[in-house]
Amino acid sequence: MALNLRGIAFRAWTGLAMVCVATLAVILVIQFSPLLGYLGEKIHWWSVDDVGSRVLEEYGQPGAESNIAQIALAEHYDIMIVTALERVVFWVKGSDPTPNVDPLDDADVTPELRLLLQTLANELELSGRNVLKTTRPLEEGESTYIYFARVEDQEHGTCYVYLAVNFAEPSDSDAQTLQIQVLLVTIIMMAILLAASLPIGHRFLLPVARLTKSAQRLAHGDLSVEFNGHGFTETEQLAATLTYATAQLREFDTDRKELLANVSHDLKTPLTIIRIYAETIRDVSGDDAFKRQTHCDTIIEEANRLTDLVNEIVELSRLDSSSTTVVLTEIDLAEVLRDTLTSFAILAETEGYTFEASIVDTAPIIGNEHFMKRALYNLIGNAVNYTGDDRFIGVSLARRGQVVRFEVTDTGEGITPDKLPTIWERYYKSRGHHSRSVTGSGSGIGLSIVKRVLTVHNARFGVQSVPSSGSCFWFECDLAPDAEPILDRAADHTA
Ligand code: ADP
C-alpha cells in the first residue's frame, strides 16, 4: 500500500491525527485544571439546593417530620430544625451509616455544633437573606456543605432549618489513579484509531481509485470503458455521470465517423467527375466547342455542389460548436420569410413553380436573422426539391395569440412514417433521391441545420406527411414579449 502524501487517505489521516491530539490536549487540560473541581462544586450545590428547597416545601405540612426524615435518610443529609433559642425541634442524622430513625434531641448536640448553629444564625441575620449556603471543614480533610434557612412556625416562632452533607470525594491517590487510567485509555484509543484510519481510508477510497483508473482509460480514448462506483452513494452518482458522458462521447464519435465517411464519399464523387471531365476537355473535346461547353457546365455544376456541401458543413459545425453563441435580437420573421422567398422567385419565373404564400404583416420574434433565414431556406428548398409534378409549394406564416406558426407544404411523394423520426438526424438521406435537386442541396445535412436553428430559438417543430400526397413542415415560436396584438390578418400572394 504505497503512501501518497497528497492523497485523500493521507490527508484525512493527518486531519484525524490533529483532532486526536486536540482531544488529548482538552482532556489533559480538564483533568489537571481547577475547572473539574469547580464543576464538581457546582454540581454539589445544585443537589444541596434541591434537597433544601424540598425540605422547605415539606416544612409546616401535615406529616412533615416523617417526610423530612425520609429525605434525610434517602439523600444521606443531616437535617435539623432548631428554634431561635437553639432548642432542637427535629433532628435526623442521615449521614450515619446506620442512621437513627428516631429524632434526636438537644442532648445530642455537641458544643461544637451548638457554636456552629449560633454562628450560622448570626451570619444569616447579618446577611438579611433567608438562606445561607456555606462550606465548613467539620470533618478532617472534608468540607461539609451547609444549607441554613430561616422559617416561621406558629408553634415555635422563628426556627432554622439546618442541612449538612459531605460528598464523598475520592482520595488524592484514587484521583491520581483515575487520571492515569483516563489518560491511558485515551492514548490507547487514539493509537488504535490512528492505526486503523489509514487502511479504513484506503478502503473508502477504493471506488474512487477504480473510477480514476477508468477515467484514465477514457482519457486515452478507450470509449468502451465501464465505470464502477459501487460502495457509496456519491461514487455511484459519479460513476453514473461518467457513464452518461462516455455514452455521449461514443455517440458523438459515431456521428463524427459517419459524417466524415459520408462527406468524404460525397466529396470524392464530384471531384472524380471534375477530374474526368477536365481530362476529357484536355485530351478529347477541347476543340469541339459544343462538347467543351457541355463538359465545362458539368464541371461548374459539380464545383457548385462541392461549394454547397462545404458551406453546409461549415454552417453545421458553427451551430455545433459550443463556443458559438447565437446572438438573438428582435427580428421580424415575416420580413425574413418574404426576403427568403425572393431567392426562389426565379424558379417561379423560369421553372414553372407556383409559390402560394400567405404571410402575416409582421411577426416580431427574438431570434437570429441569419440562422432563421437559413432554416426557412432549407425548408422551402426541400419543398421545391421534393414537390410533385405540379411544382406547387404553399408557404404560410400566421399569428395566433402570442405564437407565430410557419408552414411549408408540397405535393410530393411524402415521407413514410418509419422515416419521419430519422429525417432530422445529421446526414440522413432517404434511399430514394430528390425528384429534382433544384436548390443545389442534397447533402443530407439541411434538416439537421433546421433542427439546430429551431432548438436555439426555442421553437416547437415537426412534419406531417401523407405518402403520395405531400408533406407539411412546420414550426412555431413565441412572439417577442412586446409584440403588438393584431387580428390574424395575412397578405395572400401567389407567384
Ligand atoms: P437533403 O439534402 O437530402 O434534402 P435534408 O436534411 O434536407 O437532406 O433532408 C433529409 C431527408 O428528409 C431527405 O433526404 C428526404 O428524404 C427527407 N425530406 C426532407 N424534406 C422533404 C420533403 N419536403 N418531402 C419529402 N422528403 C423530404
Distance 382 CA to ligand 1 centre (A): 6
Distance 358 CA to ligand 1 centre (A): 23
At residue 170, the pLDDT reads 62
The better pLDDT of the pair 435, 114 is held by 114
- Mean pLDDT for 290-308 is 86
At residue 389, the pLDDT reads 92
At residue 495, the pLDDT reads 47
For residue 95, give the 3-state DSSP assignment: coil
| Strands across the sheet containing 490-494 | 460-466, 470-478, 403-410, 392-400, 354-360, 490-494
149-179 in b/e form (b: 16+ CB < 10 A) is bbeeeeeeeebbbbbbbbeeeeeeeeeeeee
Q: What's the full length of the chain, in residues?
A: 495
Share of the chain above pLDDT 70, in %: 88
Ligand 1 in reach of 430 Cβ (< 6 A): yes
Letter for the amino acid at 477? C
Q: pLDDT tier at 433 (50, 70, 90 boundaries)?
A: very low
pLDDT tens profile 467-477: 889 999 999 99
CA-nearest of 79, 83, 74, 105 to 92 is 79
Q: Mean pLDDT check: name the lowest of 1-10, 80-89, 150-159.
A: 1-10
Whose C-alpha lies nearest to ligand 1, atom 13?
429
* Ligand 1 mutation target, pool 415, 420, 464, most atoms within 8 A of CB: 415
- Mean pLDDT for 203-210 is 85
The answer to whether residue 440 scores a pLDDT higher than 60 is no
The answer to whether 412 and 386 have CB atoms below 8 angstroms apart is: yes
The answer to whether 134 and 124 have CB atoms below 8 angstroms apart is: no
Cα distance between residue 110 and residue 118, in whole Å: 12
The better pLDDT of the pair 478, 312 is held by 478
pLDDT tens profile 123-134: 999 998 999 999
459 φ, ψ (degrees, to nearest 5):
-95, 150
- Mean pLDDT for 385-409 is 95
- Mean pLDDT for 105-109 is 72
Kindly report the average pLDDT of the chain as a whole number: 84
Rank 266-275, 282-291, 373-382 by mean pLDDT and report only the highest. 373-382
CA-nearest of 301, 313, 223, 219 to 259 is 313
Q: Mean pLDDT check: name the lowest of 164-178, 236-250, 364-378.
A: 164-178
Rank 18-32, 62-76, 294-308, 391-405 by mean pLDDT and report only the highest. 391-405
Cell numbers representing residue 160 in the block: 432554622
The better pLDDT of the pair 187, 478 is held by 478
Whose C-alpha lies nearest to ligand 1, atom 17?
423
The better pLDDT of the pair 444, 143 is held by 143
The answer to whether residue 334 scores a pLDDT higher than 50 is yes
- The secondary element (H helix, E strand) that includes residue 47 is helix 35-58
At residue 383, the pLDDT reads 95
Ligand 1 in reach of 471 Cβ (< 6 A): yes
| Mutual angle of helices 8-32 and 35-58, in 10-degree steps | 60
For residue 475, give the 3-state DSSP assignment: strand
The better pLDDT of the pair 392, 175 is held by 392
CA-nearest of 467, 448, 464, 445 to 456 is 448
484 φ, ψ (degrees, to nearest 5):
-65, 135
Distance 477 CA to ligand 1 centre (A): 22
Cα distance between residue 329 and residue 370, in whole Å: 11
User: Taking the alpha carbons of 412, 415, 420, 423 in that order, is the dihedral positive or negative?
Assistant: negative
Q: pLDDT tier at 490 (50, 70, 90 boundaries)?
A: very low
The better pLDDT of the pair 230, 316 is held by 230
Ligand 1 in reach of 394 Cβ (< 6 A): no
β-pairing, 470-478 with 403-410?
Answer: antiparallel
The answer to whether 347 and 353 have CB atoms below 8 angstroms apart is: yes
Cell numbers representing residue 189 in the block: 484509543
Q: Mean pLDDT check: name the lowest of 93-102, 194-203, 380-389, 424-433.
A: 424-433
Q: pLDDT tier at 45 (50, 70, 90 boundaries)?
A: very high
Ligand 1 in reach of 463 Cβ (< 6 A): no
Letter for the amino acid at 442? G
Cell numbers representing residue 30 in the block: 480538564
Residue entry with cell 423520426 = 421
pTM of the model: 0.51
Whose C-alpha lies nearest to ligand 1, atom 23?
383
329-354 in b/e form (b: 16+ CB < 10 A) is eebbbbebbbebbeebeebbeeeebe
| Strands across the sheet containing 78-83 | 88-93, 78-83, 157-165, 142-153, 131-139
The answer to whether 315 and 465 have CB atoms below 8 angstroms apart is: no
The answer to whether residue 303 scores a pLDDT higher than 80 is yes
Distance 423 CA to ligand 1 centre (A): 7
The answer to whether residue 140 scores a pLDDT higher than 80 is no
At residue 485, the pLDDT reads 72
Q: pLDDT tier at 344 (50, 70, 90 boundaries)?
A: confident
At residue 436, the pLDDT reads 53
Provide the 10 A C-beta neighbour count for residue 284.
Answer: 12
Q: Mean pLDDT check: name the lowest of 49-58, 66-75, 79-88, 307-316.
A: 307-316
At residue 194, the pLDDT reads 79
Share of the chain above pLDDT 90, in %: 32
At residue 491, the pLDDT reads 45
The answer to whether residue 53 scores a pLDDT higher than 90 is yes
C-alpha to C-alpha distances, 156 to 89, 151, 375, nearest whole angstrom: 9, 10, 110
Cell numbers representing residue 252 in the block: 458523438
At residue 268, the pLDDT reads 79
The answer to whether residue 98 scores a pLDDT higher than 70 is no
The answer to whether residue 493 scores a pLDDT higher than 50 is no
At residue 431, the pLDDT reads 43
The answer to whether 430 and 463 have CB atoms below 8 angstroms apart is: no
At residue 20, the pLDDT reads 81
Cα distance between residue 92 and residue 72, in whole Å: 7
- Mean pLDDT for 440-464 is 84
At residue 489, the pLDDT reads 47
- Mean pLDDT for 23-52 is 84
- Mean pLDDT for 406-435 is 78
- Mean pLDDT for 36-57 is 89
- Mean pLDDT for 189-218 is 85
Distance 380 CA to ligand 1 centre (A): 11
